[in-house]
Structure 1
Amino acid sequence: MIQRIQTLYLLISAILIAILIVLPFAEILSNGVIYQFNMKGVLLDGVLKKSGTLLSILTGTGLALHGYAILSFRNRTRQIRVIVFAILLLIGVVGMFYYFTYFSFSGSKISFKMGAVFPVVAIILDYLAIRGIKKDEALIRSIDRIR
């Protein structure tokens, strides 16, 4: 299981998503006030201004799907479907991130943090994992033809 490169891609992607839960995404400077945007939502001095519940649900579900995909290595077609669904959830996370930073605070100065890049890197790693799974599937089918 762990010796397959796609499992490593999925594991790194899951680790990035897990770290995403803790790290802030951005700091937003609006009218001289600094807001912090993280998984909880948009905060001002620790007080919640905009809730990030949907963002938390999407991220948590994506993390759970990555764990399930890593453990379902014997059924490659199911693994691909689960990863594609996880990619769609991560695209939703990126969309929510874009909504919170640009539409909620128009004309504000946005300072992105390291956590802003993690969903995009996780999507790229998931795509690489799908390519690796498809290569495994093609190899197994070619071996079956030889028999």
Structure 2
Amino acid sequence: MIQRIQTVFMFLVAVAMVLVLIFPIWHQVNPSQTQMATLTAWALTTIDVESGEVVASSSMIAIAILAFISIGLALFSLFQYKNRTRQMFLNMMNSLAMVINVGLIIWFSHNANETINPEVNGAFVIGFWAIFAGMIMNLLANRFIRKDEMLVRSVDRIR
């Protein structure tokens, strides 16, 4: 049923992935304060701090595509409450998409860090941590779906 607790968790997965699309994911300022790099789901942008103009920008659309896939899987899984095994499978695929997204983010930020200033590490910000919040919510949703499935099987066994 749609009013179950796992529905709330799956909706929160979608909200967390929307946060990934909206907020920056990684940020670095080099020690001499001349350039600043910001990774979002859409692009990696390097800005000259003094003039405020964009020095370099490269598209990171793969992060946004995976975030949209995660949003779609979470919302589609939300309405698959009549088939709990399909719902668990969709959540498992969503977890895989989020893990791949984290891997891409780490890879892109590592490459950007080497380009700008390898001595100083950048900082992961709210967009990055929102993916982990989504993963935890997805895990909790699967746990409650599995609990419902075990309850239904136990009731069928009693009859």
Same structural fold, with TM-score higher than 0.5 when normalized by the shorter chain: yes
Structure 1 regions of 5+ residues with no counterpart? none
| Secondary structure of 1:77 counterpart | helix
TM-score by length of 2: 0.85
| Paired residues, number | 147
Shift of 1:47: 6.8
Greater shift in the superposed pair: 94-103 or 58-67: 94-103
Q: Contact conserved, 1:28 with 1:101, CA < 8 A, in 2?
A: no
Comparing 80-89 with 23-32, greater Cα deviation is found at 23-32
State the alpha-carbon separation in 1 of the partners of residues 113 and 21 from structure 2.
22
Where does residue 133 of structure 2 map in the other structure?
121
Structure 1 segment 1-147 matched on structure 2, within 5 A: 1-30=1-30, 32-45=34-47, 49-106=57-114, 107=118, 108-147=120-159
Runs of 4+ in 1 over 3 A off after TM superposition: 45-48
Identity of aligned residues (%): 27
**Residue identity opposite 1:90 in structure 2:** M
TM-score using structure 1 length? 0.92
Aligned-residue CA RMSD in angstroms?
Answer: 1.6
CA displacement at 1:22 relative to structure 2: 0.7
- Alpha-carbon offset, residue 53 of structure 1: 1.3
- Give the whole-Å Cα distance in 1 for the aligned partners of 2:131 and 2:19: 10
* CA gap 1:23/1:77 in 2 versus in 1, 3 angstroms: same
- Superimposed CA distance per residue, residues 63-99 of structure 1 (whole angstroms, 9 cap, x where no aligned partner): 0000100011110000011000010000011111101
Structure 2, gaps ≥5 residues long: 48-53
Hey, what's the Cα distance between the residues in 1 that align with 2:58 and 2:104?
12
